[in-house]
Amino acid sequence: MSAAEPLHYRFPPASAYRLNRCLFALKSDDDFRARFLQDARAAMRELGLGDDDAAAVLRGDRDTLLARGAHPYLVFMADLRLRMAREPVTFEYF
Amino acid sequence: MLVGAFACAHTPQLLARPGTEDRDLVLRVHAAFARVKRRLEALRADAIAIVAGDHVEAFFLDSVPALAVYVGAECAGTFGHYRYRFPIHEPLARAIVEQGVERGFDLCYTQSAPLDYAFYVPLHFTMPEPALPIVPLHVNVYLPPQPTPRRCFEWGAALGAIVRARSERVVLMCSGGMSHFPGTDRYASPEFEYDRRLLDTLREGRGRELAAVTGEELDKMGNIELRTWAVVLGAVGDAKADVYCYEPSWHHGNAVVEWAL
């Protein structure tokens, strides 16, 4: 049994808790996402995000977010939900 | 009684298809889901115990259970404009959590966690008519450290024994996989050959080999969600898989499987 660090989905460091909390809210909390789209900085202040984390979320750059300890799936889904809200994608619903 | 065992893909693009997804491929997966639905009707199942990996929806970093059982009256989840509500087979859910703990598995249980799409995408397409109550069974797949494939397999063996001793006709379904890498630079290049080799071993009834795979390997192959398959494999032992479909999209290996019990 190997205890090597996984390549893709790594342990989310405690230092990134607030950052991941913000991405989780963007993914799963419709009200938070709406507030973020209205005033992103105010929404991030609600969650106590530090300046560097807030700047990384605003830039939306995946590599920077991952380097700060963000979980890849949360980055992926938060980004997708924000893009869907900003420019509604056409879906075929089954 | 354990009357059926299935594995289903759950990628949300099967439910709401954006223009990036091949429509014919999506419809072929739907056709495989329709076969599962007809089988569930033919099996006259009383309940579906569905094993899925939470996408950081029910459980955030405030509390990360390795293995959990939903033991509420009903469960609910939303995705875009989809709103789902499923009744829980409460006696079965209670038996699973109580006897699971008796058998040495320190299970978490919840009576209110939101339902993740990993549960309701397959149920959207496979729920028989009339609808059956479910028992959602969580496996932590996305937040390391996850339970080892071996532990998942052992939990599945216990789950199988618990279900076989029940009077209800129960179907086990695992939701997840196959290879995909959401949120990483591997998103557009899954490990389809790994999937195909694994499906071959399952066709031959060698599913217990998945128990020996390391978590590191699953991560490397984009198959962290196969922990849910390991649970069902623990329950079905050496049963042979009938692969209804394997449809690799540009980012995801979509499989639908039934094990011949």
Encode pLDDT of B93-105 as tens digits: 999 999 999 999 9
Residue B15's φ and ψ, nearest 5 degrees, are -90, -50
Average pLDDT over residues B134-149: 98
Question: Structure tokens of B159?
Answer: 């789950």
**pLDDT exceeds 70 at position A3:** no
Nearest-by-CA chain B residue for A22: B60
Would the pLDDT of B152 be above 50? yes
Tokens 């989840």 correspond to what residue?
Answer: B77
Q: Is residue B117 within 8 Å of residue B55, measured between CB atoms?
A: yes
Ordered by start, the domain boundaries in chain A are 14-86
Kindly state the percentage of chain B with pLDDT values over 70.
100
Range in A4-8, A72-76, B173-177, B234-238 with the lowest mean pLDDT:
A4-8
Please check the confidence at residue A88 and state whether its pLDDT lies above 80.
no
Residue A1 binned pLDDT confidence (cut-offs 50, 70, 90): very low
Contacts of A17 (CB under 8 A, 6+ apart): B61
Mean pLDDT of the B245-258 span: 98
Residue A10: its pLDDT value, please?
Answer: 94
Chain A partners of B224 at a C-beta cutoff of 8 Å?
8-9
CB-based contact B98:B86 (threshold 8 Å): no
Q: Does residue B221 surpass a pLDDT of 50?
A: yes
Assign A2 a pLDDT band (cuts: 50, 70, 90): very low
Nearest to A73 among B56, B148, B216 (CB): B56
Best residue of A2, A5, A7, A8 to probe chain B, by most B CBs closer than 10 Å: A8
SS3 content of chain B, % helix, strand, coil (to 5): 35, 25, 40
And the tokens for B75? 């469960």
- CA B247 to each of CA A93, B11, B27, B55: distance values in angstroms, whole numbers, following the listed order: 20, 12, 10, 22
* Span of A26-30, A78-82, A89-93 with lowest mean pLDDT: A89-93
Strands (E), B24-169: 47-53, 67-70, 74-79, 82-87, 108-110, 134-139
List residues of chain A with CB under 8 Å from any CB of chain B: 1-2, 4, 6-12, 17, 20-21, 24, 27-28, 62, 71-77, 84, 89-94
Task: State which CATH number among 3.20.20.70, 1.20.58.390, 3.90.960.10, 3.40.830.10 fits the domain covering B2-260.
Answer: 3.40.830.10
- Give the confidence band of A50 by pLDDT, cuts at 50, 70, 90: very high
- Is the Cα torsion angle A12, A18, A22, A27 positive or negative in sign? positive
The predicted complex's ipTM stands at: 0.93
| Helix %, strand %, coil % of chain A (to 5) | 65, 5, 30
The single-letter DSSP state of residue B70 is: E
Q: Dihedral of the CA atoms B237, B68, A16, A45 (nearest 10)?
A: 140
**Per-chain mean pLDDT for chain B:** 97
Mean pLDDT computed over every residue of chain A: 93
- pLDDT for residue A89: 80
At residue A81, φ and ψ (nearest 5 deg) are -65, -35
Q: Is pLDDT above 80 for A32? A: yes
Q: Which of A19-28, A82-91, B134-143 is predicted with the least confidence, judged by mean pLDDT?
A: A82-91
C-alpha distances in angstroms, A79 versus A59, B33, B75?
Answer: 11, 29, 27
Structure confidence at residue A6 (pLDDT): 85
Closest CA to B248 of B202, B198, B193, B181: B193
Share of chain B above pLDDT 90, in %: 99
Angle at alpha carbon of residue B100, lines to B94 and B105, rounded to 5°: 135
